[in-house]
Amino acid sequence: MEKKRLVVLTGAGMSAESGISTFRDNGGLWDRYNVEDVATPEGWLRDPEMVTEFYNIRRKELQNVAPCHGHTLLALLEEFFDVYIITQNVDNLHERAGSSNVLHLHGELMKVTSSDNPNDESQIIELDTDHLEVEYGEEAPDGSPLRPYIVWFGESVPNIDVAAEICSNADIMLVVGTSLNVYPAAGLTSCAPPDIPIYLVDPAPVRWNSQSKVQHIQMGASKGIAEFIKQQNLK
């Protein structure tokens, strides 16, 4: 029997359970930097050395966190579904938990790329735990300085069309850790077939702009995914 295609959209609330802070959190790394300085093309042009060091720090911090229970549950769901994860997160926690099909909308922290041609696949270099730090001035294959492989504010999202195609073929959608009022999640749910079930895991009350019937599981990421699994009556 062919497995149903489960498309999972994940956002910052997913990684937060692993201890990764966001710009909206109080305290921690992000309070010491302005988003305009470290997550925009203009910030890179103003001070590429500082931006390079900022992401070096983030990579080292990533080594000190582990996938949360929710990450693990999503990986285990591959036994029952054809699972595609579309994430707004730049960490590698889905992959470390064992998920096979992960599409990153906003780039990947463990990769660097050309500052002239950031989306050219031939320019993207994956780092490892023995090489977490990049010195500003290290060169991409095309000779330009390496920059983080991150989609910064003001830049286009190169994988958005791929994500939309994945969503258009979904049988079930599960949204975790991101609001249905915030793009790109809001736009991607509208790409799904109108008659499929959409589950939203969010501990807060949520309004959404969607014609599809949304089932709200008002819990945090891990508990909400566990509840979703319970509701599927998986054998």
pLDDT digits (tens, 9 = 90+) for 120-147: 999 999 999 999 999 998 999 999 999 9
Name the pLDDT band for 234 (thresholds 50, 70, 90): confident
Pick the CATH number of 1-19+67-106+157-235 from 2.60.40.740, 3.40.50.1220, 3.30.1360.120, 3.90.740.10: 3.40.50.1220
Is the link from the previous residue into 184 a cis peptide, with omega within 30 of 0?
Answer: yes
Taking CB atoms within 8 Å and a gap of at least 24, the contacts of 184-189 are 184/88, 184/105, 184/157, 184/160, 185/9, 185/11, 185/88, 186/210, 187/160, 188/9, 188/86, 188/163, 188/164, 189/9
Distance (Å, rounded) from C-alpha 56 to C-alpha 15? 19
Domain ranges of the chain: 1-19+67-106+157-235, 21-64+108-150
Write down the pLDDT at residue 113. 98
Distance (Å, rounded) from C-alpha 143 to C-alpha 197? 48
Write down the pLDDT at residue 2. 86
- pLDDT for 19-71, tens place per residue? 887 665 555 556 677 889 999 999 999 999 999 999 999 999 999 999 999 99
Name the pLDDT band for 89 (thresholds 50, 70, 90): very high
Q: Which residues are catalytic?
A: 106
CATH code of domain 21-64+108-150: 3.30.1600.10
Average pLDDT score over the chain: 90
223 — phi, psi (to 5°)? -65, -35
Same fold yes or no, 1-19+67-106+157-235 and 21-64+108-150: no
